[in-house]
Structure 1
Amino acid sequence: MAAAQALSDRGLSHIPTDYIRPPGERPEVAHDSFSQQHNIPVIDISEASEGYGHRMLVREDQVLDWRDYFDHHTFPLTRRNPENWPLNPPAYRQTIKEYSEHMKLLAQRLLSLISESLGLKPSYIQDAIGELYQNISLNYYPPCPQPELTLGLQSHSDLGAITLLLQDDVGGLQVSVDGSWFAVQPVPGALVVNLADQVQILSNGRYKSIEHRAVVNRNKSRISIATFYDPAKEVVISPASELVGSDHPAKYKHVLFGDHVSAWYQKGPDGKKVLDSLSVK
């Protein structure tokens, strides 16, 4: 199947069937009209394969997302190989290196604040995660002739600890709040902070990973850059012992992060069902 950009460039009037989502998963309206808005708090703090792709899951029967992307391994340095990154524009590789450093420091600062807000030592979440595994995904959503039938990115919560998202001014990100979808308007100069599954487990459910998706539109392309801060696949994550007691029993099972990743990519995220399967009944 051709990439989304190639299909868009052909000027098709209808999208291929591989991109058409089941009726219950389609956006209610095309993104051109931006249905519901939601006030997202703005705070002023002044293992995906690497390379080019357009298929998120490993299942052959998956419905495709109207998206192309470049994915880069940036940390640990043993995974970083700039030779796999584009040569053009000339400053691209150096820019990715510098951007990854800044995003690493910001993610660590935010996780320290989250740990403290839970009554834990500032380094708790970082210690639990262990060595940082950081990926940077540059996403391109081309114009789509039938945006009401597909999604730029299917509904899911992120796998790791925290995701920092840089959007352009087009918009397309939506979050699920109490079962309804709300558009997240881009704020110039701001990053969107998505808490991911491992923070929900570590906090014993006090913090929730956010279910989100991306919609597309007929007339404008969109670009976003997502930086993922994840544990190594060998790390076991469980609720913090300090947050578990007779009044607050553990809500989640221990999970090997690599198993969580495998289930997500093989079964499909289907919202937060992979995380929900770890709930203690």
Structure 2
Amino acid sequence: MAASFTRDSGTQTPTTYDRFQELKAFDDSKSGVKGLVDAGITKIPRIFCRPKVEDHDSVKPIPTQFTIPVVDLENIKTRSDEVVEGIRKAGGEIGFFQVVNHGVPQSVLEEMLAAARGFHELPTEVKKSYYTREKTKKVIYGRHCLLSHYYPACPEPELTLGTTKHSDPDFLTILLQDHIGGLQVFHQNQWFDVPFLPGALVVNIGDLLQVLANEKGPRVSVACFFTPHLYPSTRIYGPIKELLSKENPPLYRETTVEDFISYYDSKGLDEKSALAHFKLQP
């Protein structure tokens, strides 16, 4: 499975430009990109501009033979072998698939998207009060972390991305996206759209996630990350011993999830997968 990396826009930044300070000022405002849109901007701030797009990294037409796999969980008790094989194939070959007939009512999915959209469209002062309260507590449901994303219509989508290319530092991400779409997966050196499928949940088992900025909007999504690092543990993770041999040696060194996350956080979204740091020399 491949990692996701940021694409460039060709924007030149002056030598006096202090991106960190501008990012900090933006973060401290607690108004988000919605606040910028509400202010009536027609040009995106330079902190969101990406450097020049390379030809080899541009989005290419999707081959007719390629589609994002869809795993149907209907009657899973009598179709378990078929479902497991579908997940194994999709996870191993692409790292992305969509799940339908998962048992979560359509009304619940719609209400979740509506709640995420409603929060981000609250007045700035009301949202600030939420942020202030959350500084004093951390709510964790089991080993899951739930995040909502809100991307307003972008006045210059060709200059930016919804988020930079990156690897998800977890074991599994389940994403609920709305009808606008925008999610892409990097596969066989090409970017492919993950199409909106009513009622489906997108599952990511790899370093393949990217979100594009869009002139349509607002785009809303909710992601559930399976994040065991939220609980301190000394458990060592590594390849399954029974699958190793002289002909099939380990590719990555053993590590704790905490060490992996610590490295991921320290390097930031720098266009490189955190997995490379843990790869054993050939």
| Shared fold (TM-score, shorter chain, > 0.5) | yes
Answering whether residue 69 of structure 2 is matched by residue 41 of structure 1, we say yes
1:10 CA drift (Å) = 2.0
Q: TM-score, normalised by structure 2?
A: 0.60
Contact 1:28/1:148, CA 8 A, preserved across alignment: no
Q: Which protein has greater RCO, CA pairs closer than 8 Å, 6+ apart?
A: 2
For residues 219-238 of structure 1, the aligned pairs below 5 Å read 219-232=216-229, 233-234=232-233, 235-238=235-238
Question: Residue 256 of structure 2 aligns with which residue?
Answer: 256
Amino acid at match of 1:223: V
User: Equivalent residue of 2:71, what SS?
Assistant: coil
Tell me the CA shift for residue 270 of structure 1: 3.5
- How many residues are treated as equivalent by the alignment? 188
Distance 1:264 1:25, change over 3 A: farther
Cα displacement (A) at 1:192: 0.6
Larger Rg: 2
Q: CA separation in 2, counterparts of 1:243 and 1:24? A: 41
**1:9-158 alignment runs, 5 A limit:** 9-24=38-53, 28=58, 36=62, 39-45=67-73, 46=101, 80=139, 133-158=143-168
Name 1:126's counterpart in structure 2: none
The AA in structure 2 aligned to 1:42 is V
Whether contact under 8 Å (2:184, 2:210) holds in the other structure is yes
Partner of 2:81: none
Q: Once the two structures are superposed, what CA deviation does each residue of 1:92-145 show, in whole Å capped at 9, x if it has no partner?
A: xxxxxxxx7xxxxxxxxxxxxxxxxxxxxxxxxxxxxxxx52101111111111
Q: 1:253 to 1:261 in 2, by over 3 A?
A: same
When normalised by structure 1's length, the TM-score is: 0.60
Gaps of 5+ in 1: 47-51, 54-69, 72-77, 82-99, 101-131, 196-208
Change (3 A) 1:260 1:167: same
Q: Provide the residue aligned with 1:190 in structure 2.
A: 200
Query: Percent of pairs identical after alignment?
Result: 35
Q: Does 1:273 align with 2:270?
A: no
2 CA distance for matches of 1:19 and 1:25?
Answer: 18
Counterpart CA distance in 1 for 2:38 and 2:193 is 26
> Superposed, which structure 2 residues align to 1:151-190 within 5 Å?
151-190=161-200
Equivalents in 2 of 1:10, 1:154: separation in Å? 24
Is the contact made by 1:252 and 1:280 (CA closer than 8 Å) also made in structure 2?
Answer: yes
Change (3 A) 1:269 1:259: farther
CA RMSD of aligned residues (A): 2.9
SS in 2 for 1:152: strand
Match for 1:11: what amino acid?
Answer: G
Structure 2 runs not aligned, ≥5 long: 1-25, 74-100, 102-118, 121-129, 132-136
Q: Secondary structure at the match of 1:266?
A: helix
Q: Which position in structure 2 is the counterpart of 1:111?
A: none
Q: In the alignment, is residue 216 of structure 1 matched against residue 213 of structure 2?
A: yes
Which deviations, in whole Å up to 9, do the C-alpha atoms of 1:235-267 show, x marking residues without a partner?
321111122112210110112211211222221
Using the alignment, how far apart are the partners of 1:263 and 1:278 within structure 2? 10
Which letter does structure 2 place at the counterpart of 1:222? Answer: R
